[in-house]
Amino acid sequence: MGTGAAIPLADKSIPFLGHALPLLRDPLGFMSSLPDHGSLVTMRMGPLSVVMVCDPELARQVLLDDRTYDMGGPVFDRARESVGGGLGTCPHSEHRRQRRLCQPAFHRSRMPAYATVMSSACDAMTTTWQDGQTIDLSAEAAAMALRVNVESMFATALPRVAQDVADDFVALSRSVFWRIIMPPLINRLPTPVNRRYFRARKRLFHTVGQIIAARRQDTTDHGDLLSSLMSAQDPDSEAGSRGLSDREITEQVLTFFFAGAETTAATLAWALYQVSRHPHIEQRLQAEVDEVVGDGPATHDHLPRLPLTERVITETLRLYAPAWLGSRIVAHDTELGGYHLPAGTQMVWSPYLIHRRPDIYKNVDGFDPDRWLHTKAEREAYFPFGAGARKCIADRFALNTAILSLATISARWTLRPVTDEPFKPVVRTLLVPHGLRMRLAPRARVTA
């Protein structure tokens, strides 16, 4: 193929809205159909043309070269509009400084302290559950993950603030996908959705800004994520910008909430759902946690002895990568997979699309944690946390939360969906199982 060839256009584009309708009605089905057109495929989001990278090797090239494929494009623009220019939403030119300043907060040495927060949040959640109760699993997991985030960040339980932050995040994240795929004109109209969005964003900045201002008055090191961000110094930056300003810290905190709570909660909820539908895996998982964790809660010391629990999470992140759509912008003319890409080309990539390619994964829609015992080739096409310099800074933090929570819950409770119908999520910015209802039964060892 020559570099002058046009990138194929996906089916079902209509004037003005482009592919907004299939993206709203059945985004996952639509995405999964794209590789049939080739390794790169053009989609239209309103008036905007974006190029989807369908091939894992090309996706890797894009993710590893963050100078050529800078953070940008529709997902980035709307995320930046929501949470400001923090680590996840800053361009390449600001990224290295921000990453160096945030990295210490996620250093391996800090993980045991965060794990204590994770264990106690999951312990608290599972001890309020009742025999025979039906729960909205996605909502329970989201409340727990938010608590983990808030307490790791602020070293304290802040019930009122946590509730405000939670409500505003729900409002914000529900609107963001809509804002990504709709034309900008519609996003500016004073519709109820848009008004809710702007109100929630304003309150969030105010709430977090107040916490930071209060912390500036207090010089104690709380050993939390916020202390780490406030004390971080980057010797490679110019004098005057070696630390993070209050505005930058606010944006980082909002980025961590935005990027962290719902993604981790979705992983846990999807994992429990899949386990409940695969009794042979459930039995083996229960045997592992019974031996290692007992009645729980699972702690940081248990982590190396929970290999099946970890594989269940790995496989869940293959089937249901919560951050299922990312975007980039081409910084200067380049070539990819034989196609010419002019500067300014908007790109999107999707771990969901790549993880569901039947030519890469055998039994692609099957839930098989044991596939991760021996596969190397499949790992090369596995990007739930992205890759390269922009790879998720909190991948270990997120995995530990999901593994410890899955182990603690499995040690104490058996969960069953309230219906045999397969659960179909409504997909938005993230792939979250909103409204997944499960019935609880205590494990025999708890009641014994």
Q: Are 23 and 353 a contacting pair, CB within 8 Å?
A: no
- Smallest distance, ligand HEM to C-beta of residue 221, A: 19
The piece of 40-48, 182-190, 293-301, 385-393 that touches ligand HEM (CB under 6 A) is 385-393
- Smallest distance, ligand HEM to C-beta of residue 370, A: 21
Residue 146's closest CA among 405, 441, 443? 405
* 254/243 Cα distance (integer angstroms): 18
Which pair of structure tokens corresponds to residue 92? Answer: 């390449």
Q: Are 62 and 38 a contacting pair, CB within 8 Å?
A: no
Q: Is 393 in the site for ligand HEM (CB under 6 A)?
A: yes
- Smallest distance, ligand HEM to C-beta of residue 44, A: 21
- Smallest distance, ligand HEM to C-beta of residue 430, A: 9
- Smallest distance, ligand HEM to C-beta of residue 383, A: 7
* 303/288 Cα distance (integer angstroms): 12
> 17 vs 95, which CB is nearer to ligand HEM?
95
Q: In sequence order, what are the residues at sequence separation of 6 or more whose Cβ sits closer than 8 angstroms to the Cβ of residue 311? A: 369, 370, 372, 373
> 263 vs 408, which CB is nearer to ligand HEM?
263
> 94 vs 290, which CB is nearer to ligand HEM?
94
Helix (H, G, I), strand (E, B) or coil at 65: coil
> 314 vs 410, which CB is nearer to ligand HEM?
314
> 256 vs 273, which CB is nearer to ligand HEM?
256
Q: Are 393 and 427 a contacting pair, CB within 8 Å?
A: no
Q: Is 385 in the site for ligand HEM (CB under 6 A)?
A: yes
* 273/277 Cα distance (integer angstroms): 7
Binding map of ligand HEM across residues 242-261, x = CB under 6 A, - = no contact = -------------xx--xx-
Q: Can you say whether residue 236 is alpha, beta or left, with left for phi > 0 and alpha for psi between -120 and 50 degrees? A: alpha
- Smallest distance, ligand HEM to C-beta of residue 342, A: 21
Q: Is 403 in the site for ligand HEM (CB under 6 A)?
A: no
* 325/7 Cα distance (integer angstroms): 20
Q: Is 87 in the site for ligand HEM (CB under 6 A)?
A: yes
Helix (H, G, I), strand (E, B) or coil at 166: helix
Q: Is 297 in the site for ligand HEM (CB under 6 A)?
A: no
Which pair of structure tokens corresponds to residue 179? Answer: 């804002």
Q: Is 384 in the site for ligand HEM (CB under 6 A)?
A: yes
Q: Are 271 and 410 a contacting pair, CB within 8 Å?
A: no
Helix (H, G, I), strand (E, B) or coil at 329: strand
> 267 vs 346, which CB is nearer to ligand HEM?
267
Footprint of ligand HEM on 114-153 (CB under 6 A)? 149
- Smallest distance, ligand HEM to C-beta of residue 310, A: 13
Query: Which segments within 174-331 are labelled E, that is strand?
Result: 326-330
What 8-state DSSP symbol labels residue 41?
A: E
The piece of 123-131, 208-216, 320-328, 363-371 that touches ligand HEM (CB under 6 A) is 320-328
- Smallest distance, ligand HEM to C-beta of residue 105, A: 9
Candidates 46, 74, 296, 386: give the one binding ligand HEM (CB under 6 A).
386
Which pair of structure tokens corresponds to residue 426? Answer: 């409504």
Q: How does strand 346-349 pair with strand 48-53?
A: parallel
* 302/102 Cα distance (integer angstroms): 27
| Alpha helix (H) residue ranges in 327-385 | 351-355, 377-380
> 173 vs 414, which CB is nearer to ligand HEM?
173
Q: Can you say whether residue 344 is alpha, beta or left, with left for phi > 0 and alpha for psi between -120 and 50 degrees? A: left
Candidates 394, 404, 415, 427: give the one binding ligand HEM (CB under 6 A).
394
Binding map of ligand HEM across residues 263-292, x = CB under 6 A, - = no contact = xx--x-------------------------
Candidates 88, 369, 425, 433: give the one binding ligand HEM (CB under 6 A).
88
Peptide bond into 351 cis (omega under 30): no
Q: Are 285 and 309 a contacting pair, CB within 8 Å?
A: yes
> 17 vs 105, which CB is nearer to ligand HEM?
105
Length of the chain: 448
> 197 vs 385, which CB is nearer to ligand HEM?
385
Q: Is 323 in the site for ligand HEM (CB under 6 A)?
A: yes
Candidates 35, 38, 326, 425: give the one binding ligand HEM (CB under 6 A).
326
**Chain residues in the site for ligand HEM (CB under 6 A):** 87-88, 99, 149, 255-256, 259-260, 263-264, 267, 322-323, 326, 384-386, 390, 392-394, 397-398
